[in-house]
Amino acid sequence: MGLIGTLVGYALTAFILLLVARMILDWAALAGRGPAWVGRARAFTRATTEPAIAPVRRVVPPVRAGGIGFDLAFTIVFFVALVLRSIAFAL
């Protein structure tokens, strides 16, 4: 079971890194236009992480605070991935 847990742990680590990249690229998009590769990288990270975030977003919609919206679904998926990664590496 150790090999399977390790492989799942590494897959979850890659997913967490994609989530962090998505967060950074989304912030960069808010700052303004950048090089063309930023748009392509942002599209890639969104395409790979959205299937995990979208179902959570349907249950937990973004919270509005004035003109700002906080996407709690992203945060929930991030923390669940961290917990599952810890469990996988412990197996």
CA dihedral 66, 79, 41, 88 (to 10 degrees): -170
Check residue 1 and give its pLDDT: 66
Q: What is the pLDDT of residue 11?
A: 95
Phi/psi zone of residue 68: left (φ > 0), alpha (ψ -120 to 50 degrees), beta? beta
Q: H-helix or E-strand containing 65?
A: strand 63-65
Of 25-29, 30-34, 74-78, 83-87, the poorest mean pLDDT is in 30-34
Give the structural domain span for 83: 2-90
Q: How many domains does the chain have?
A: 1
Tens digit of each residue's pLDDT (9 = 90 or more) over 16-54: 999 999 999 888 877 777 777 888 888 999 999 999 999
